[in-house]
Amino acid sequence: MKTPTIEIDVTQERKELLKRYKLLLKSAKPYLKGDDAKTIKKAFAMATDAHQDMRRKSGEPYIYHPIAVAQICVDEIGLGTTAIVAALLHDVVEDTDIKVKDIQALFGEKVALIIEGLTKIAGVFEHGSSQQAENFRKMLLTLSYDVRVILVKLADRLHNMRTLDSMAIDKQLKIASETMFLYAPLAHRLGLYAIKSEMEDLYLKYTDAKTYRDIASKLHQTKATRNKFIVDFITPIQSELNKAGFEVTVKGRPKSIFSIYNKIKNQNTPFEQIYDLFAIRIILHQVKPEDEKAACWRVYSIITDYYKPNPDRLRDWISTPRSNGYESLHTTIMSSLGQWVEVQIRSERMDEIAEKGYAAHWKYKEGGPNNAEAGLEQWLSRVREAIENNDLPALDFVDNFRNNLFKEEIFVFTPKGELKSLPAGSTTLDFAFDIHTEIGTHCIGAKINQKLVPLSYILTNGDQVEILTSPKQKPNEDWLKFVFATKSKAKIREALKDNLREQADDGKEIIARKLKNAKIDFSDENQRKIMDFYGEKSALEFFAKVAKNQIDLNHLLDFSKPHFHEVKTPSIASKKDFVREISKARGEPSDMLLIGEDMEKIDYKLATCCNPISGDSVFGFVTVSEGIKIHRTNCPNAIELMSKYGYRIIKARWTSQKEIAFPAGIFFEGTDRVGIINDITVIISTELKVNMRSITVESDDGIFSGKIIVFVNDTTHLDKLIEKLQAVEGILKVTRFDYGDY
């Protein structure tokens, strides 16, 4: 099919470009000093020239993208000139002939380092590695130099997510999943809640469009009700707040679409039954930093004079801010309409930090260090240490980092009463390494609240920890099971390597002695042959095994005899190679699915982790040994597969040429009555003529629930069945579930 020609109005595009550039300068004005405007102009000119013949998938000039990224850096993160220049030039090294050294010569080392960190690693990666993981790793390593690398990257990723419509479906899935896998957690950890929430919402939009549209529509329909609720809530307390001398702004912010989706999914609750669809935020104006804490508690006191608080839902993030700098006082109150509502009380400064995270701290640094800033710096310091001391393969590195991103923190005390924050899940051994590497290395146990505990004891909030050490203690392999924090694991591996080197030196001496007695040279060539003979790849580990008598040296001298030959396995470097390699893939041939760029009929298997059925939004994943597997786009494993192995993702689309029955799980719940099970089975078997594979039902005090696995033709067939079941008297809820978990 011939690609339609797009008419380009060059004059109009130049006007639009100039308009966007002027808006950027206007937004950046409060941050500019000295020659900053000239520097930005120079960067804009360079970027415009470098990208002049390039266009995005949408057809618009490519230069619109770096300008939009710079605008996000200013408006939504609060960054200054260095970040603006880096944002404008962030793609020139990767996409044009300009080199990092050229950037450094014109704009200095800081900008060059940020752009170096943002530039993807070139080249083809071998099968078993992951290009995405290598690029994540490279970017994260730059945290050691400048956190702005991550902040500019988040702005870049946010704009990419906002403009995903023009991309092919497989690219949408890959980019959205990468975003959910690493960038949304990063935004959360750096306190950029607005960016994190938007990323999550956009992820849902492209992986489960129907659910996204349903929730967005229902939120829009309930907007007027929410606004009225806020007015009714604030009216009784407004005069009291005024009497106390408080000037406040009250906002009602709906929960993000993704967080509502999570509640629906995790609590198995319909939208209409979720009570905390939004939070009321009370922002205090013109409060001095030293008076903020007392002012927030005073407002809390006024509110709870009128509304009853839930004592189990009070969260004081002012006395002890979160490690990403977030400060706020949260309470949940019972409204006059009989529903629980979350209320957040914070100062204007706290609100800005809650919206703009790490970058907002720079604005308030002149006022001296505060608890929130100290906590954030402590977390960044831990991240830097973990990154700098980590030589894991890229995939393990990213997994490790991501696990730490998701974890909330706990607060514990030293014997002298000093407060320390650690990732939730940390053990006494983690605490020891957090204090000092030497203390961790020689740790034999700990006292928690004066009681003796082992190295593996998991710390909880409020524990007072005293570490016990011994100069004779040394780390061993088991220690890796006792620690949670990346920093601790890196330090233990480092210590184990030192031990391994000592053992390897002893093992090398043993081999050298045996070869000398046999009058054989201990050359590099012979060392390689010996390792091949024993099937060992690492010289360090091989010689250490020799020292520990784990290698049988009785046949050592046979190493030079011909006894084996090398077999080279083919390297699979791209998606097309994969498709070629699996032309004889296992699985039933079917014309129900069209797969790949050319939408061909290729053999496949349906993934058991999510059990897709005809009509589901799906993608193909090329496995190493089982051919192509078809997953739902909202499969529990989709985020990880598409983030780590995006090059193995291929398009897949259902056709309707055959009627095939797919198994699907249905969960139902309701009030028990005589004959209800019969009514259910009549609808399934008689009315809709659907075959059942299994049914289980439980009843307790008049409430019953059940699970049925049925065979349906497609999602339309399944939706019709669910609709019919929901109409049965006594049934309160009917939902689909992944029967692979059943």
Q: Which residues are catalytic?
A: 94-95
Integer Cα distance of 591 and 653 in angstroms: 10
Token pair 């609709």 in the structure block, residue: 723
**Burial, 683: exposed, middle or buried (Cβ in 10 Å; 0-12, 13-18, 19+)?**
middle
What is the per-residue burial (b if ≥16 Cβ within 10 Å, else e) of 317-340?
bbebbbbbbbbbbbbbbebeeeee
What is the per-residue burial (b if ≥16 Cβ within 10 Å, else e) of 696-707?
eeeeeeeebbbb
Within 8 A by CB and 6+ apart from 164, the residues are: 171, 172, 175, 176, 202, 206
Phi-psi region of 492 (alpha: psi -120 to 50; beta: other; left: phi over 0): alpha
Among 279, 245, 523, 486, CA closest to 389: 486
Residue 648 CA, distance from chain mean position: 20
Among 554, 559, 538, 547, CA closest to 510: 547
The C-alpha angle with vertex 123 and arms to 122 and 124, in degrees rounded to 5, equals 140
Integer Cα distance of 466 and 413 in angstroms: 9
Integer Cα distance of 185 and 266 in angstroms: 19
The C-alpha angle with vertex 205 and arms to 202 and 207, in degrees rounded to 5, equals 110
**Burial, 28: exposed, middle or buried (Cβ in 10 Å; 0-12, 13-18, 19+)?**
buried
**Burial, 12: exposed, middle or buried (Cβ in 10 Å; 0-12, 13-18, 19+)?**
exposed
Asked if 330 and 343 count as a contact pair (C-beta separation under 8 A), the reply is: yes
What is the helix (H) or strand (E) element at residue 282, kind and residue range? strand 278-285
Ranges of H-type helices in 393-427: 394-406
Asked if 178 and 646 count as a contact pair (C-beta separation under 8 A), the reply is: yes
Among 113, 101, 93, CA closest to 51: 93
DSSP 660: -
Asked if 667 and 722 count as a contact pair (C-beta separation under 8 A), the reply is: no
Q: What single-letter amino acid sits at 415? A: P
